[in-house]
Structure 1
Amino acid sequence: MISNFINGLVDYEFLQNALVTATVIGIVAGVVGCFIILRGMSLMGDAISHAVLPGVAISYILSINFFVGAIVFGLFASIIITFISNNSKIKSDTAIGITFSSFLALGVILIGVANSSTDLFHILFGNVLAVQDFDKWLTIIVSAIVILVVVIFFKPLLLTSFDPNMAKAFGVKVNAYHYLLMALLTVVAVSAMQSVGTILIVAMLITPAATAYLYTKSLSKMIVLSAFLGAFSSIIGLFIGYSFNIAVGSTIVLTSTSIFLISFLVSPKQIHLRKKVLKA
């Protein structure tokens, strides 16, 4: 099977595109995912990944690249959620639930209007084997920009993630960096559509980062490990999906989940926690 996969990489451009795209998505999702789980915003990632669906449908209707509509609706959803949470007694999880379900319902309606169920099915569940050269390079460029932004603003993102009150005391604009992270999250979610689809994006954002969290207390080390795990899961998932002719997006997610489950059992943090529980 390995030789068939390697031969396929040599002979078929679509498989080369799939490998590069899936690996890049695994890396950038792992990087952004670290900040998402540290801020307790896993639900926000899920909401935005589904909220982009109406934008994708509208893009198909208007015959424009789906990146445009998806990013616009993703940012719009994050603004609505944050505005409701900050300006009412409604908690963030409730605001996320309302926005998520509304945008998803709108997306379903627009799918029917777009009358392009085959392409939109790939958006929902991913089809990394169908990635074209333009999409591959767009994903690479977008991901490089996201990682560059994280590197440039690493310190304020670090401070606002661990202690927003202290960040405010130091004069850091906490809300500005919150919206910056939401923008990065939206861009990554849109980029990941081709590989895992909107349904499974949240797994690529959360699972590698959660796995990395089990091994280190340093955010910089966590980011590097999470990016590696995201890339590794993407490569192994692509190999399994291609070799057995099954959905690649799903195999990528299940590979990442399997690594997390193993880490949950053997990681130093978990072993230490189990010892404390047994002593108690």
Structure 2
Amino acid sequence: MMDWLLPFTFPFMRDAALIGLMISVPAGLLSCFLVLRGWSLMGDAVSHAILPGVVLAYILQLPLILGAFVAGLGSALMAGWLQDNSRVKRDTVLGVVMSGMFGLGVVLYTAIPSDLHLDHILFGNMLGIGPEDMRLAAMISGVVGLVLVLKWKDFALAAFDPVQARVAGLAVGWLHYGLLAMISATVVAMLSSVGIILAVAMLIAPGAVAFLVTRRLAAMLVTAVIVAAFATTVGVWGSFWLDSAPAPTVVLVLTGLFVLAFTWRNLAQRRASAA
């Protein structure tokens, strides 16, 4: 039995699993709203768009998380404005903003000498988590998770029936931009763990799996968090035995869970049709 728990006898492995569990809560909850609203590309766009913010914050000697948050939120707001003021569809706008911001970040990174490690920014460094990273992840996860748990019905109503939400007296605009702000904050929390490239998997896959196995939003939210936490724990544990990086291993576990959920759903539908 102890052999199976061997990875978690090492402090750096425990820290990797712990920060993964922390970000599983906001990532799992947000992924449900992203999947249901068709905002999957929004998580991708925000995760890519924070790169120039990180580089500029480094140049200006500001906290990297501040630059990442401003760049991510700014890009999300820019995409929303472009969508509302042009004939271009959302996915096209997000693709342009995402690629443009990411390209800007790479240009800045290569043009300005620095000791920033691009690999750590892109793919994370779960085995090199420090106390500051843990505190940041705990703070963001706690705030975002608490807001979503307390206000999930308001966010759901504003997302699926904005007219009814306005009649009910909800501030639809604040809920919309609040959701974008929480997406940006959660990506920032993932910056030091899974990185900006793989953050999109944590913001989509748990909700996609939950969507396949349940039809009630409350159950979907709980399921998504459980899926994210399970994938994080198994991914970190498995990376030790496979001698692989934890973050991509977590993503592979999430992908495997999605395939299993998709297969189970199809089989259930065929049995229902046959009956």
Q: TM-score range by the shorter chain?
A: over 0.9
Post-superposition offset of 1:140: 0.8
1:112 is matched with which residue?
Answer: 110
For 1:256 and 1:187, the matched residues in 2 are separated by: 22
Q: 1:43 aligns with which of 22, 26, 41?
A: 41
1:9 aligns with 2:5: no
Q: In 2 relative to 1, CA 260–117 (structure 1 residues): closer, same or farther, beyond 3 Å? A: farther
Q: 2:269 aligns with which of 247, 252, 273?
A: 273
After TM superposition, the score normalised by the length of structure 2 is 0.93
Residues 96-146 of structure 1 show CA distances to partners (whole Å, capped at 9, x for unaligned) of: 111111101110011114434662211101111111011012101110000
2:201 is matched with which residue?
Answer: 203
For 2:103 and 2:3, the matched residues in 1 are separated by: 42
Q: For residues 214-233 of structure 1, what are the structure 2 equivalents within 5 Å?
A: 214-233=212-231
1:90 aligns with 2:93: no
2:21 is matched with which residue?
Answer: 23
* Equivalent AA in structure 2 for residue 271 of structure 1: L
SS in 2 for 1:105: helix
Q: In 2 relative to 1, CA 133–6 (structure 1 residues): closer, same or farther, beyond 3 Å? A: farther
Checking the alignment, whether the CA contact within 8 Å between 1:37 and 1:209 is kept in structure 2 is: yes
For 2:65 and 2:94, the matched residues in 1 are separated by: 22
* Equivalent AA in structure 2 for residue 9 of structure 1: F
After TM superposition, the score normalised by the length of structure 1 is 0.91
SS in 2 for 1:63: coil
For 1:108 and 1:8, the matched residues in 2 are separated by: 35
Q: Report sequence identity in percent.
A: 36
1:213 is matched with which residue?
Answer: 211
Checking the alignment, whether the CA contact within 8 Å between 1:17 and 1:133 is kept in structure 2 is: no
Checking the alignment, whether the CA contact within 8 Å between 1:50 and 1:104 is kept in structure 2 is: yes
Checking the alignment, whether the CA contact within 8 Å between 2:13 and 2:236 is kept in structure 1 is: no
Q: In 2 relative to 1, CA 205–155 (structure 1 residues): closer, same or farther, beyond 3 Å? A: same
For 1:109 and 1:191, the matched residues in 2 are separated by: 24
Q: 2:148 aligns with which of 142, 147, 150?
A: 150
Checking the alignment, whether the CA contact within 8 Å between 1:26 and 1:233 is kept in structure 2 is: no
For 1:23 and 1:224, the matched residues in 2 are separated by: 14
For 1:81 and 1:272, the matched residues in 2 are separated by: 39
Post-superposition offset of 1:177: 1.1
My pick for the range that moved more, 68-77 or 173-182, is: 173-182
Checking the alignment, whether the CA contact within 8 Å between 2:25 and 2:145 is kept in structure 1 is: no
Residues 159-198 of structure 1 show CA distances to partners (whole Å, capped at 9, x for unaligned) of: 0222223323434332221111100111111111222211
Q: In 2 relative to 1, CA 178–57 (structure 1 residues): closer, same or farther, beyond 3 Å? A: same
Post-superposition offset of 1:278: 7.0
For 1:139 and 1:115, the matched residues in 2 are separated by: 28
1:99 is matched with which residue?
Answer: 97
Post-superposition offset of 1:31: 1.0
Post-superposition offset of 1:156: 1.3
Checking the alignment, whether the CA contact within 8 Å between 1:5 and 1:243 is kept in structure 2 is: no
1:170 is matched with which residue?
Answer: 168
Q: 1:132 aligns with which of 127, 130, 133?
A: 130
SS in 2 for 1:21: helix
Q: In 2 relative to 1, CA 174–29 (structure 1 residues): closer, same or farther, beyond 3 Å? A: same
1:251 is matched with which residue?
Answer: 249
Checking the alignment, whether the CA contact within 8 Å between 1:126 and 1:193 is kept in structure 2 is: yes
My pick for the range that moved more, 228-237 or 239-248, is: 239-248
Could you tell me which runs of 5 or more consecutive residues in structure 2 were left unpaired when the two chains were aligned. Answer: none
For 2:272 and 2:79, the matched residues in 1 are separated by: 39
My pick for the range that moved more, 175-184 or 162-171, is: 162-171
For 1:172 and 1:90, the matched residues in 2 are separated by: 28
* Equivalent AA in structure 1 for residue 8 of structure 2: L
